[in-house]
């Protein structure tokens, strides 16, 4: 292929790609919406329901045993499908706050986000935290207000909640006609269409045909929804036009405005319209920042960054998979790349694309695509793979844990298996491993306490290692940076509380906030870090 032909195809492939994450507070309907998007995209034939333990079906994106048992998502899943000429990379993230570390890193690998809000509960705690992360990168966000088939808060109250709590303008794209038992459907504002809700036992049932109305004064509106509902809709739209925000594509792309859609994911209502609008308005892959310069997706040389490691997606083979976001050029099977952290070349000949835990060989991948590279400990979160130009992508963090536990091995003869399991599972980044410089203990740190249950269960199920975890007198850990002579003196004088993390980086533990403040005061030449880049020194 000539250079001109390649660049022409590169531009075409970039323009048709959409890479986004779905974010929400737990139980807002995020995983259900994910399933329905996959259903419309032809990626699955039957949408499963996330159910309690012993359920016969589970969400496609929930593939771990512990996810199926508890009915929650505990790790991010990547799903790729084609729809209406677009190549879609959809990342389903855990909603539970205890798994936010995984979610934060996934948000660094996407170009936009789809936020799900429960119409009954409105904006919730985890939604606020995720929004803060999106705001750091000015990530464009589209909103789906879910569960309109239940009695919930008024649309105007929900808009006030979103704008007040999240600091972003709401631009109504659809507007509900009634709610709960009186919910008839939505009015599509740009299209001037009535889209009717149809409840029933068949959750995959399609609503009856949409009806075009020639403005809100069209008598057809009264005939279709009734005079009372029609008058209520007219009143609401009049208020929106007077006090609301019209959709502004530029403000949406800048992360200052969120287009809002209403619907019911479990009933398939509003999902197709959401998907169509999302693919039409959401951004294609954008330039990405490295240490030295900004890299355009339209550049010919290949480059990408590892944002996630997952161990044992195929338990039979004890594999580890590195998830890499392609940022420029084209990946083809057999591509030789430079591993920037080690300075060594790698031949990548068996990369994969994903449908949750299902895989297919990736013959090629373009900017915005997510590929999996089998990994035996060589690749780490934050690693850059590229051509000859030395690039290092930025912005993939490790956060300081908030909860800590000491590991107790129940069977001492399993020490080697435990070391291997802890090493591989902590490579994923959701839970962190620290070791005292003066002892042989294994200390786990996590953002949320449920992570300790997850690693205990996964060690048992995936490595046949049984452990217990017990509280330890640590309230905080901070990474340390400074001149080597100062750090050496600090280690000698504080040996009993000094740690190293799994990358060999120095850290210090503190029994309480007072000790942390005192150390900061006593060592002004040292920086006490609450976050670090996911690249070892």
181 labeled binding residue: no
27 labeled binding residue: yes
268 labeled binding residue: no
Contact 180, 151 (CB under 8 A): yes
CA distances, 88 to each of 15, 75, 367, 408 (Å): 11, 20, 12, 44
d(CA 404, CA 477): 9
240 labeled binding residue: no
25 labeled binding residue: yes
- With a CB cutoff of 8 Å and minimum separation 6, the contacts of 281 are 142, 249, 252, 259
Within 10 angstroms of residue 223's Cβ, the number of other Cβ atoms is 12
Nearest Cα neighbor of 125 from 142, 100, 144 is 100
Contact 444, 458 (CB under 8 A): no
73 labeled binding residue: no
Instruction: Retrieve residue 405's tokens.
Output: 């536990």
146 labeled binding residue: yes
Nearest Cα neighbor of 461 from 503, 437, 425 is 425
149 labeled binding residue: yes
180 labeled binding residue: no
Largest Cα–Cα separation, the chain: 84
d(CA 115, CA 29): 10
DSSP annotation of 152 reads -
30 labeled binding residue: yes
Within 10 angstroms of residue 196's Cβ, the number of other Cβ atoms is 16
Nearest Cα neighbor of 281 from 253, 262, 260 is 253
CA distances, 453 to each of 98, 449, 468 (Å): 11, 8, 10
Contact 330, 366 (CB under 8 A): yes
**Helix, strand, coil percent values for the chain (each to nearest 5):** 30, 30, 40
d(CA 505, CA 434): 10
Contact 446, 98 (CB under 8 A): yes
DSSP result, 459-521: HHHHH---EEEEE-S-SEEEEEES-HHHHHHHHHHTGGGEEEETT--EEEEESSHHHHHHHHH
94 labeled binding residue: yes
28 labeled binding residue: yes
51 labeled binding residue: no
Binding-site residues = 24-31, 92-96, 146-149
- Binding site listing for GTP: 24-31, 92-96, 146-149
């Amino acid at each position: 292929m000539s250079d001109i032909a390649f660049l022409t195809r590169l531009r075409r492939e970039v323009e048709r790609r959409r890479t986004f994450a779905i974010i929400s507070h737990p139980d807002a309907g995020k995983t259900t919406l994910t399933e329905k998007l996959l259903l419309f995209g032809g990626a699955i034939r039957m949408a499963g329901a996330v159910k309690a333990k012993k359920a016969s079906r589970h969400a496609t994106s929930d593939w771990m045993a512990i996810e199926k048992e508890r009915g929650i998502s505990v790790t991010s899943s990547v799903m790729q499908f084609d729809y209406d000429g677009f190549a879609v990379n959809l990342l389903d993230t855990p909603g539970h706050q205890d798994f936010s570390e995984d979610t934060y890193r996934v948000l660094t690998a996407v170009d936009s986000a789809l936020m799900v809000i429960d119409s009954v509960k409105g904006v919730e705690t985890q939604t606020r935290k995720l929004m803060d992360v999106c705001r750091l990168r000015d990530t464009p966000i589209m909103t789906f207000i879910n569960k309109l088939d239940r009695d919930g808060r008024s649309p105007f109250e929900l808009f006030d909640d979103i704008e007040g709590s999240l600091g972003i303008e709401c631009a109504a794209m659809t507007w509900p006609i009634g709610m709960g038992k009186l919910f008839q459907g939505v009015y599509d504002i740009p299209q001037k269409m009535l889209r009717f809700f149809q409840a029933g036992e068949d959750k995959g049932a399609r609503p009856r045909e949409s009806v075009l109305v020639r403005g809100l004064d069209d008598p057809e509106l009264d005939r279709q929804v009734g005079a009372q509902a029609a008058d209520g809709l007219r009143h609401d739209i009049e208020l929106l036009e007077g006090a609301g925000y019209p959709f502004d594509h530029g403000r949406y792309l800048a992360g200052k405005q969120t287009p809002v859609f209403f619907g019911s994911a479990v009933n398939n209502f509003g999902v197709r319209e959401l998907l169509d609008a999302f693919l039409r308005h959401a951004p294609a892959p954008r330039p990405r920042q490295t240490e030295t310069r900004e890299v355009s997706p339209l550049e010919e040389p290949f480059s990408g960054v590892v944002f996630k490691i997952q161990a044992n997606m195929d338990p039979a083979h004890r594999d580890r998979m590195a998830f890499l976001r392609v940022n420029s050029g084209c990946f083809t099977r057999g591509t030789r790349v430079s591993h920037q952290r080690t300075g060594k070349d790698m031949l990548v000949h068996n990369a994969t694309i994903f449908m949750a835990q299902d895989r297919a060989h990736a013959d090629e991948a373009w900017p915005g695509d997510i590929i999996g590279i089998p990994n035996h400990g060589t690749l780490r979160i934050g690693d850059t793979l590229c051509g000859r130009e030395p690039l290092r992508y930025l912005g993939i963090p490790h956060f300081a844990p908030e909860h800590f536990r000491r590991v107790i091995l129940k069977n001492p003869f399993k020490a080697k298996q435990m070391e291997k399991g802890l090493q591989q599972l902590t490579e994923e980044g959701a839970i962190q491993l620290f070791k005292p410089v003066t002892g042989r203990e294994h200390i786990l740190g996590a953002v949320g306490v449920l992570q300790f249950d997850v690693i205990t269960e996964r060690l048992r199920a995936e490595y046949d290692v049984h452990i217990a975890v017990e509280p330890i007198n640590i309230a905080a850990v901070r990474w340390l940076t400074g001149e080597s002579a100062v750090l050496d003196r600090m280690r000698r004088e504080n040996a009993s509380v000094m740690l190293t993390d799994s990358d060999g980086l120095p850290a210090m533990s503190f029994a309480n906030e007072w000790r942390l403040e005192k150390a900061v005061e006593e060592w002004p030449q040292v920086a006490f870090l609450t976050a670090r880049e996911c690249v070892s020194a």
